[in-house]
Chain A
Amino acid sequence: MTEKYNMPDERGHFGPYGGMFVAETLMLPIQELNAAYQQYLDDPDFIAELDADLKHYVGRPSPLYHAERWSRELGGAQIYLKREDLNHTGAHKINNTIGQALLAKRMGKTRIIAETGAGQHGVATATVAARLGLECVVYMGAVDVARQSLNVYRMKLLGATVVAVESGSKTLKDALNEALRDWVTNVDNTFYIIGTVAGPHPYPAMVRDFQAIIGREAKQQCQDQVGRLPDALVACVGGGSNAIGLFYPFIDDRSVKMIGVEAAGDGVETGRHSAPLCAGRPGVLHGNRTYLMEDDDGEIIETHSISAGLDYPGVGPEHAWLKDTGRAEYVNITDTEALEGFHALTRMEGIIPALESSHAMAYTMKLAPTMSKDEIIIVCLSGRGDKDMQTMAQREGIEL
């Protein structure tokens, strides 16, 4: 790759992936959204407002923290954590919801809808909706409502209506279906804030651009602290928004390895996992072509992961492209390994990571010892683990 990376094309294609696979009623709204997005992408007033909010409301820049003790313990590469867990609402999700909500406001939309898995994106959406005085409806699979009740309560406190989705597998994909149905019905006044780099164009590119602040900051911070580029980037991948946010500003820096960590659930070989890039095949779901978990007939199959935020049968189309071109590598981590990562970071550095991020931690534990002590890994600590206390306690047989 000698040319500068410049994806997607104007209709949202990353090679064969991405695109606009939507019913006719949604074509006009996504074209309007794309036009608005293209307009404000370079609008100085919009950028200034976004930057101010990211600084004063979200608390950016988030630190790049050298996990010295953990690095020493693992005996290999120096591990730096990009602390998205320290953002307002506790995860990287708010980088995107702030951006999309400001866009919604400028487009004159009065009602916000969102889908959520773990509830982090739902909370981040309800938060910005509260701040801007917009009506907010969050769709959440009934299974996720049960396992993430704390986040459901947070969203309700913030004034959002949380709709438990009872169709299909009752998880994130079904929440997305239901949000799309709402959008089709209420397109005139409603803005759909998608939480990950999936959905029809322009969502994968737009969400990436709002999340790319993770990588831009990390690149600068690494330069400031170490004086050079990192050797490897590691991030968990469900839909893949924190990963693409970290990776994107480094794509043209060919010396930097990029590794996305999918959720292997009980193990990829068991079929009970959420790792479409590692074990799926290309298809079309939720408006874009990407790697999917599906059966031979093209029906989407149920996914499994201890982490609700990774429990999704698809993945952002740009990750599909980065995989096929070999620019990024995708690996997987089981539930059990993720828990080891969770405990390791908690005990070594006094930082309790989200179960999603724990997958990236677990892979880092495998990777770091294979590298030398003067090499650098930046790991995206995409969210904090407070929301997972119930799941953890239950898993370990502890009554809270």
Chain B
Amino acid sequence: MSRLAATFEALSKTGRKALVPFITAGDPRPDFTLPMMHAMVDAGVDVIELGVPFSDPMADGPVIQRASERALEHKMSLRRVLAIATEFRKTNQHTPVVLMGYVNPIEAMGYEDFANAAQRADIDGVLTVDLPPEEAEQCVALLKARDIDPIFLLAPNSTDERIKKMDVAGSGYLYYVSLKGVTGAGHLNVVDVEAKLKQIKANTRLPVAIGFGVKDAQTAKTVADLGDGVVVGSALIGKIEANLDDLERAKTEIIELLTSMRQAMDSE
């Protein structure tokens, strides 16, 4: 069983939900990422989504765009993200790491070389925003052959047919993007998310993590109750951006936010 499947299964046995932070690797500096990952694990997160910066992040709002730009200024790259993940794994064998990004850096490396490198780095999942199942056949086969879970996105306008497609192509979990829009935008509508999750659950047995619009402990708790996990990204990166001159403080504020989310999600 993959590390992701095991994680979600263990959580579901205790009735808890996954807390999944997203940070862009190398933001604001390459040396910030590894200690941040360990600190987030200590704060009780279950899965880490590590953003691979890309020059043209079309599905991201301004907060994550700027995170990518900061990381790229320091020459962060897919290879270096894999190196960070390798370092992380030396002292943490239990927390799944999911790479999240765009397909072009993977194309540049070559699908097979990438799949091999991801396996060597002991990556657990790969979420490629602009690689829908229709275009993902080759990549999915290479990843699955190496026990790496391809993670797919679902959107408010995904049909039954498409959810079933993701259920077949994907593994590990599905990531429900709760808003039409880019990352960091707007506020999610609980009634809409609840209705959509019913539709999704009717078409897949995979766990569903919900992201986009999760800003604080309260929304984390509300969203956690609707699915199997909560993804929080822009709210964390906002803490980095607000404290670029004091990164210890950025780290402290991120940990405080994640801790409050964990507590809220675990409360009755």
- Which A residues are within 8 Å of any B CB, using their own CB? 11, 19-25, 27-29, 167-168, 173-174, 177, 180-181, 184-188, 282-287, 289, 292, 294, 296-301
Bound CA–CA A251/B262 (angstroms): 61
Report the nearest A residue to B175, measured CB to CB.
Answer: A24
Residue B235 is within 8 A (CB to CB) of chain A in the complex? no
Stretch at the interface among B34-42, B56-64, B190-198, B224-232: B56-64
B:51-109 near A, CB below 8 Å: 54-62, 65, 69, 72, 77-79, 102-109
Contacts of B72 in A (CB 8 A): 299
A-B pairs with CB below 8 Å: how many? 119
- Which B residues are within 8 Å of any A CB, using their own CB? 54-62, 65, 69, 72, 77-79, 102-109, 129-132, 134-135, 152-159, 162, 177, 180-182, 185
Contacts of A168 in B (CB 8 A): 55-56, 69
Q: Are A296 and B61 in contact (CB under 8 A)?
A: no
B60, B131, B152, B177: the one contacting A21 at CB < 8 Å is B131
Bound CA–CA A298/B54 (angstroms): 8
Contacts of A21 in B (CB 8 A): 103, 130-132, 135
Report the nearest A residue to B132, measured CB to CB.
Answer: A27
Q: Are B135 and A299 in contact (CB under 8 A)?
A: no
B58, B60, B105, B154: the one contacting A298 at CB < 8 Å is B105
Q: Are A185 and B181 in contact (CB under 8 A)?
A: yes
Report the nearest A residue to B158, measured CB to CB.
Answer: A24
Contacts of A22 in B (CB 8 A): 130, 132
A11-B55 contact given A25-B157, A283-B107, A284-B103, CB 8 Å threshold: no
Report the nearest A residue to B154, measured CB to CB.
Answer: A24
Bound CA–CA A11/B157 (angstroms): 20
Q: Are A283 and B157 in contact (CB under 8 A)?
A: no
Report the nearest A residue to B57, measured CB to CB.
Answer: A177
Q: Are B132 and A167 in contact (CB under 8 A)?
A: no
Contacts of A299 in B (CB 8 A): 54-55, 72, 77, 104-105
Known: A25-B155, A185-B181. 14 other contacts (CB 8 A): A20-B132, A21-B103, A21-B130, A23-B153, A24-B152, A24-B154, A181-B182, A186-B180, A283-B107, A286-B58, A289-B107, A294-B104, A298-B104, A298-B108
Contacts of B155 in A (CB 8 A): 23-25, 27-28
Most buried by A among B77, B129, B157, B162: B157
Bound CA–CA A9/B102 (angstroms): 24
Q: Are B105 and A184 in contact (CB under 8 A)?
A: no
A194 to chain B, nearest CB (A): 13
Q: Are A298 and B78 in contact (CB under 8 A)?
A: yes
Report the nearest B residue to A296, measured CB to CB.
Answer: B108
Q: Are B55 and A300 in contact (CB under 8 A)?
A: yes
Bound CA–CA A300/B155 (angstroms): 27
A184 to chain B, nearest CB (A): 6
B54, B60, B182: the one contacting A185 at CB < 8 Å is B182
Q: Are A23 and B58 in contact (CB under 8 A)?
A: yes
Q: Are B182 and A184 in contact (CB under 8 A)?
A: yes
